[in-house]
Structures are given as C-alpha cells and as structure tokens.
Structure 1
C-alpha cells in the first residue's frame, strides 16, 4: 500500500511543526579541509540557532562528533550520532507525512548523490532517511523513485512543484515516464496535481562547483495555497534572466489542484552575478518556515532587506530572521536545503 492509500499526505511547510531536523557537516568532498569544515559548521549552527527560537531542533552528527557539535550549538539543541556522508538533511532525510488520525509517517526516497554526481558520496546518506524516521517514531514508506526533499514543494492541498531535469533526468530515474513519476509522487505525498518547471537555475548544474541538477526549492515555493514565490533575475547579463522569465510566465499560466490560477510573487535575486568564479545561484526562495518564523537567506547584499520586506508582507504573523547563507551556497545549497520539518501529527 502507498502512503496516500493509507490516508497520509505531506502537509505544507507552514503547518505546525514538532521539530526541525538537520545534519552536521563533517569532512567530505563538499567541505575540503579543516577551514571549510569549520566555516560550514559555523554556518549550520547559525541556522540551527535561528530555528531554535521557534521550535525544537535535532542535529544528526557523525560518530564521535556530537560533543564538538554541542559545544558550538549550545545546550538547547539536541544531537544524535549516526553515520553520515554529507549534511543536506532536506535531501537525505525523510519527507514527513501526517494523517487525520494523528499519525506520523515518512517517505524514504531512493538517494543516489543528486544524480550520482562525481563529487558526491552517499553510502551512509542513502540510509539516513529511514534512521531519522525511526528516531521520530514514523511509519516509513520506501519509494522506488530517486528523489530528494529539495526537489518537491507542496501547498498541502494537493499540488506539488517539480522540475523536469530532476525527477525525469537520466541521472536519477532513467526509463521513467512523466506519468510514472507523477503517479509515484502522488501515491507517496497525497497530491493529485503536478506543476512541472523545465529546469532550475544555471549555477545548479555542472561544470564546476556543486549542484543538484535543478532543485525546485531554489526557484519557486508555495507561500500559501494559490500563491507562489518565484526567483527573478532582473539583470539580462545573467543567464537566469531568461530562465526565470520563462518559469514565472509558466507559473502564471498554471492552476493548482483546486483550479485556482496561481498568483506569483517575484523575489529579485541578489545583485551579485558571480560567486566563486561561476554564475551565482544565490536565491531568497530557499527559505525555511518554522513555527512563527521565516528563516531567510542573506548575502550581505542590498536586496537582502527588499526580500525580507516581501516575506514580511507574505507572512505578517511570522518573524523574519536573516541568516548569512553564503557559506551554505558555496557548498551547493541554502537554508531550506539543510533543514527538514517534522510536522505535528496531532494537528488536523
């Protein structure tokens, strides 16, 4: 039986959370050398502290790393030790589900290092979703689809955002048709309508650097049913200018699972066009909603406050907290990529 057939669905991120799960950076190809590891740990800790203001946080650490993590995280954040390869809990962790009976479940997607990327390791990360689900006391549904949490975004009312270069890419699911992917996504998340975007941002693809081959959570995300925030690149010198124009136009032409035309709120990209010698994919879309808060990526950029003002208007009952995300983006993701919500199962 699938999760949806058993009555489970993925709540929207703005639904109440039980806690947030994160993973602790350790030595691996993403963080090359002690200085990079230290910088990553400081960045991850800043996000954990920002989230902890609003809800409990549990950080999964590699064997023997919990004591050092606790020293940086402080006593208010829980730690647990499990084997890890990398530190992107959105992607390696479970996708949590709830039902109307107050039960918690989770999807354990297949994970293959973001499409078997040459720099990635995933022997341990491929098993961490089941481990975290077990720690949370969630019933686990193992999917046959190669997928990650950053590659999906739901409105909690039946609609899911996807990108063609992820779920339909040969690096993850060779031989799968669009219909087959949609059927599996709907069967696990309890959704019934998929809105496909053609691709992600330029900086999310090789050559050079790290990337996911087009995760949606850096491009577009639901802010509430019928409303999507979308990354906009105003500068024609950046290749994402044309890409984001196409995506925004596509979203405005779509309806959700209830037939509502989507309202699209454009969030301009930071002014910096390049980072580490590549086209920058810095994006405010990769934010994290927690109980009463919005943890928003910052880049020491003039548009940081402009983005914060947009999110304050969208979420007037939540406190918007800006956290420097440049170190996180240098590793291939953002604040949303390193956090994973566990929804409260007793909320109807």
Structure 2
C-alpha cells in the first residue's frame, strides 16, 4: 500500500463539472468576518453525544451496547488530549458511566442524533476587533437548518435546535441563524478561506430547494471568512444509498493542512468508488486555494475489504478527528490499516496517530469525524505591553 502525492497541474476535467469561485474579499483592515477554523487548529474542547437506544443504533441490546462502546472509546481517546463534554439523554444519566469514565463531564440533555458533527452547529471565532470580557476573541456559532438529511427514511431526526441553544448558552457563543440546510460533513475547510463542498448535499432539492451554487457560496461568505468554494459532486457511493446520509464529502476528501488534501482512493475497478475517486482527482487537479496556491493531493488507498453484509463498503481513512497534539483515525482490522496510519502520521506531522476500531461507527452510516464536534480555542488579543 502506498500514497501518491499529486501536485496540482493541468486539469482533465470538463468545465461543466466544477466551479472555481473566488468570492470578493473585504479590505483586511476593516474585515469583520468570523473565522471558519480548520479541524487542525487549536481546540478548546470536543463535544460528543452518547447514543440513545434507537433503531439506527441497533435492534438488540448487544448492538446498542456495541455502538455505545464505540462512542465511549472515541471520547476516552480524545479526553487524553483535550477536554470532552458529553451530552447524555436524561433517561441514560444513571447508566452512562458504565461505558464512560466518570472523569468525562456529562450534561443531561434531550437530543435526537448522536452524529453531533452532522446535526449540530458550526463553531467560528471572531475577528481581532471582536473580543469578550476576558480579552479573548468571541466565539461564534453558525446555526444552520437541519432537516433529517433531506428527510431520508430512517434518518428523520429533529433539528436538535434545543441542543444548539444549550451549547450556545454554555459557551457564550454568538448564535448566527442561517436559512441554509447544512450538515458538518457536507464541507471541509483549510481554515484559510477555502471550502470544498458537496453538491449532492447542499444542492439537494430536499435540503435547499431551488438554491444555486452561487447562493450557497454567498451564504458561506455572509457568515465567515470563506473566499473560495470548490465543488465536488458528492461523497462515497455507500453514503448516497439508503444506508447513507446523502453526500458527506469528508469521507472522500479532507485537509491535513493548508494546500495538503487527502483523497480517498479506491483502486479496484469492481468497487463503485473507483469512479468516484477518479472523478474527484480530475476535478481537483489544477485547483488552487483561496490564496492562489496549488493543492497537493495525497491519495490514500481504501481498505482492501470491498463489501460487507450491506454491499460495497464506504470505509475511509481520510475521515479523521484531529485533536490537540494528535489525530484519532479509523482502524478496520484490514490489511491496509498499518499503511494508511503511516501515511496519516506523515500528513499530520507532529501529531500522534491514535487508531480506534471504526466498524461499529460505520455500521451506523457515519465516520468517526461525525461523532465529535470541535469547539475552537480562542486566542487572546495581544495587549499593548505584549506588543
């Protein structure tokens, strides 16, 4: 197993397949845009939701317990590097610590989905001119519409707006309401003004009926410092099917750092994601980021396992959860695991790679990144004496 680094060069794509839109940048001296941070930026804490006993989690007590153990394992690994806050349904309050170490603080809160990255808000940080009473940059919270992944059968969750309200109250975040339907896996960002977005999710008529690419781009720009959106058709094949969420692009691509992009690479032509990987590479080659720098694409071969009891798998090594000083990565008990983890160690240089068993998470239709919601750290504005 190996990785192929592809420096952006001439593109083979057709112009009708992608948009390379650079949004007008405000004067940096007066720009008051909220910053949309990358996953790899310093973090104040990680939020998780303890799985409730629902049909999606399992039809038997053993299956539900397996899901809870998988979520607890991720919470424990993250807690070794930064604070974790765990939302727990009040009905589960008395038993949660049979799975989760009591050192992890829990908040009794009714919620619908344990995929907090997908159903929760998107945190931002304020510009230097906007600070709180302690001199730290303000914390923002983009509160997008969530409608159960376009009312997909079996995923008809509520909006979890009560959860967002609770998080805003606890963190003091400024809540910014948007009319756009969005899930946290439908885009990835480099933290420097570039977003890669899923057309299947954001232009889904069941999510944003009648919206165009330009409307989505302007909505990102309205609330954040995003200046360029690169469009991909969608995510992996499994996610587009009845057991998926319908277009999460972070299973296909993810930024390891600005200009360095990880791409899921399915080399076996018998797997439908072979064509997905090829198309994504064609679209991304020749692209530049918001600052005009070329993208360097690292293709990471998919697991050798091609199918499970539901059909072609959607297992992905690029769907990872960075934390302070480390990165939590999936392990599938697959012969490609070790090679993928070595590639990730090189891509996330300076971070410890923490493998966690991921099959139980993927069995529920999501990746490990979807389990945790990052709350970014807020740097203090330099004082006059420090300057």
Q: TM-score, normalised by structure 1?
A: 0.95
User: What pairs with 1:5-24 in structure 2 (closer than 5 Å)?
Assistant: 6-24=32-50
Does residue 1:179 correspond to 2:206, yes or no?
Answer: no
Which residue pairs with 2:245 in the alignment? 212
Does residue 1:70 correspond to 2:103, yes or no?
Answer: no
Does residue 1:318 correspond to 2:351, yes or no?
Answer: yes
Stretch of structure 1 that moved more, 117-126 or 19-28: 117-126
**Distance in structure 2 (CA, Å) of the matches to 1:347 and 1:248:** 39
Secondary structure class of the residue paired with 2:91: coil
Is the CA contact (8 Å cut-off) linking 1:92 and 1:129 kept in structure 2?
no
Which residue pairs with 2:163 in the alignment? 128
Which residue pairs with 2:10 in the alignment? none
Does residue 1:36 correspond to 2:69, yes or no?
Answer: no
Shift of 1:347: 5.7
Which residue pairs with 2:267 in the alignment? 234
Which residue pairs with 1:199 in the alignment? 234
Is the CA contact (8 Å cut-off) linking 1:109 and 1:144 kept in structure 2?
yes
Does residue 1:157 correspond to 2:183, yes or no?
Answer: no
- Post-superposition CA distance 1:184-227 (Å, at most 9, x none): 022223201001001211100223x2x11111110101111111
User: What pairs with 1:82-97 in structure 2 (closer than 5 Å)?
Assistant: 82-97=109-124
- Selected match of 2:205 from 166, 170, 176: 170
Which residue pairs with 1:109 in the alignment? 144
Shift of 1:126: 4.2
Tell me the matched-pair count.
Answer: 343
Does residue 1:251 correspond to 2:284, yes or no?
Answer: yes
Does residue 1:60 correspond to 2:93, yes or no?
Answer: no
| Distance change (3 Å), C-alpha of 1:275 and 1:125 | farther
**Distance in structure 1 (CA, Å) of the matches to 2:299 and 2:101:** 37
Secondary structure class of the residue paired with 2:166: helix
CA root-mean-square deviation: 1.5
**Distance in structure 1 (CA, Å) of the matches to 2:195 and 2:40:** 15
Which residue pairs with 1:26 in the alignment? 52
Is the CA contact (8 Å cut-off) linking 2:147 and 2:159 kept in structure 1?
no
Is the CA contact (8 Å cut-off) linking 1:161 and 1:195 kept in structure 2?
yes
Stretch of structure 1 that moved more, 310-319 or 334-343: 310-319
Secondary structure class of the residue paired with 2:90: coil
Shift of 1:132: 1.8
- Post-superposition CA distance 1:242-277 (Å, at most 9, x none): 110110221122111011111000111101111222
**Distance in structure 2 (CA, Å) of the matches to 1:250 and 1:286:** 20
Is the CA contact (8 Å cut-off) linking 1:106 and 1:138 kept in structure 2?
yes
Larger Rg: 2
Shift of 1:6: 4.5
**Distance in structure 2 (CA, Å) of the matches to 1:163 and 1:82:** 31
Counting helix residues as a fraction of each chain, which structure ranks higher?
1
Shift of 1:14: 0.9
Q: TM-score, normalised by structure 2?
A: 0.86
Unpaired stretches in structure 1, ≥5 consecutive residues: none
Does residue 1:80 correspond to 2:115, yes or no?
Answer: no
Which residue pairs with 1:302 in the alignment? 335
Unpaired stretches in structure 2, ≥5 consecutive residues: 1-25, 132-136, 382-387
Secondary structure class of the residue paired with 1:32: coil
Shift of 1:72: 1.4
Which residue pairs with 1:190 in the alignment? 225
Which residue pairs with 2:300 in the alignment? 267
> Higher relative contact order at CA 8 Å, sep ≥6: structure 1 or structure 2?
2
**Distance in structure 2 (CA, Å) of the matches to 1:147 and 1:290:** 23
